[in-house]
C-alpha cells in the first residue's frame, strides 16, 4: 500500500501554499494524486512539479534584473553614463555650439533630466586637471567631427 499525505503536509514539504498544491492536483500535475471526498491525497514519494511560470522551473521573485537601472534622481553625468541606462543627449552640445544662444531656459517636467543635462554640459566644457574626453568618446557628439571635439575642455587645437 502506498503511503499518502495530505495537501497540508505536501505544502509544508515543498515550501508552497496549500492552495497551490490543490491547484496542481486539480490540473493533474502531481502524479498519483487522488481525490477523496473534498480532500486530495498525494503519494508521499511524489515530486514537486516544475514551476511552469519560468522555463527553468525556478521562480526568481527577488533576483535583480540584468538590465541597468534608470538614473532617476541621479544628477552626476559621469556616474549616470557609466552605471545606469543612459540615453545619449550629447547632441544638445552640438546645438549649443552651432546656435550660440545668449540665454538657455531648460523647461521640462520633473524627472526629465534637466540637472543631468546641465551636468553633461559642465563636464564637456569645464577645464579640469582630469581628462574628461573619455566620457564622450562613445557618444554622438564625438562622431560629429573634430570641429566639436575642439570645444571639449581638455582638447584644444587653437588658443
CA distance 49 to 65: 25
Lowest mean pLDDT among 57-71, 72-86, 89-103: 57-71
Say how many CA atoms lie within 13 Å of 149 toward its Cβ: 16
Query: What's the sign of the alpha-carbon dihedral 4, 6, 11, 12?
Result: negative
Report pLDDT for 61: 57
Question: What does pLDDT average to over the chain?
Answer: 86
C-alpha separations of 103 from 21, 119, 123 in Å: 67, 17, 19
Percent of the chain with pLDDT over 70: 87
44, pLDDT greater than 80: yes
Nearest to 94 by CA among 131, 154, 136: 136
Q: pTM for the complete prediction?
A: 0.56
pLDDT tens by residue, 101-143:
888 888 888 888 899 999 999 999 998 888 888 999 999 999 9
Q: Phi, psi at residue 134, to the nearest 5°? A: -65, -25
Within 8 A by CB and 6+ apart from 80, the residues are 71, 74, 86, 116
Lowest mean pLDDT among 17-26, 67-76, 95-104, 149-158: 149-158
Sheet holding 34-36, edge to edge: 4-6, 39-43, 34-36
158, pLDDT greater than 50: no
Average pLDDT over residues 130-157: 85
Average pLDDT over residues 36-57: 82
Amino acid at each position: 500500500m502506498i503511503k499518502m499525505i495530505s495537501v497540508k503536509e505536501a505544502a509544508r514539504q515543498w515550501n508552497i501554499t496549500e492552495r497551490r498544491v490543490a491547484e496542481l492536483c486539480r490540473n493533474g500535475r502531481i502524479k498519483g494524486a487522488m481525490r477523496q471526498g473534498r480532500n486530495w491525497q498525494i503519494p508521499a514519494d511524489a515530486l514537486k512539479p516544475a514551476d511552469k511560470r519560468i522555463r527553468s522551473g525556478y521562480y526568481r521573485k527577488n533576483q535583480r534584473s540584468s538590465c541597468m537601472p534608470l538614473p532617476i534622481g541621479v544628477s552626476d553625468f559621469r556616474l549616470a553614463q557609466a552605471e545606469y541606462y543612459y540615453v545619449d543627449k550629447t547632441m544638445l552640445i552640438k546645438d549649443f555650439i552651432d546656435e550660440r544662444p545668449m540665454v538657455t531656459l531648460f523647461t521640462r517636467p520633473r524627472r526629465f533630466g534637466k540637472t543631468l543635462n546641465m551636468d553633461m554640459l559642465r563636464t564637456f566644457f569645464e577645464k579640469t586637471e582630469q581628462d574628461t574626453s573619455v566620457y564622450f568618446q562613445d557618444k554622438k557628439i564625438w562622431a560629429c567631427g573634430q570641429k566639436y571635439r575642439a570645444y571639449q575642455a581638455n582638447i584644444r587645437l587653437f588658443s
